[in-house]
Amino acid sequence: MIAALGLLLGIIAGLVFAPDVPLSLQNYLPIAVVAALDAVFGGLRAYLDGIFDDKVFVVSFVSNVVVAAAIVYLGDQLGVGSQLTTGVIVVLGIRIFSNVAAIRRHVFHA
């Protein structure tokens, strides 16, 4: 319940304040969002499996975002940013769909 309330407050705050993302960080925002979604779906799957730990979730959430952004930053510095961005999106996308499939199996008992 607290997490849902926090999500709702965050959405409302984002809509009310409409923050501008600096141009230098705009390449990293989509990667950070996908990495955060991976942690959220992983947390939901762990909750349904009965092994959720809030400390593990917070560390996973932060580390996913930091590592994904660092990989893209390194790619930008090496001149291959778009290739590493694609790689990060593919890997995280596979993890997200894998977690969603496990969640679906839990929900529908299949």
pTM of the predicted protein model: 0.81
Number of H helices, E strands in the chain: 4, 0
Interval 95-103 mean pLDDT: 94
Q: What is the dihedral of CA 53, 90, 31, 100, to 10 degrees?
A: -40
Q: Is pLDDT of 81 > 90? A: no
Q: Is the pLDDT of residue 1 over 70?
A: no
Q: Could you tell me the residue ranges of all domains in the chain? A: 21-108
Q: Is 50 left (phi over 0), alpha (psi -120 to 50) or beta?
A: left
Residue type, 26: Q
- Please name the residue that has the structure tokens 């932060």: 62
- pLDDT digit string, tens, across residues 11-52: 899 899 988 889 988 888 889 889 988 988 998 899 999 998
The residue to which tokens 């790619």 are assigned = 75
CB 22 within 8 A of CB 76: no
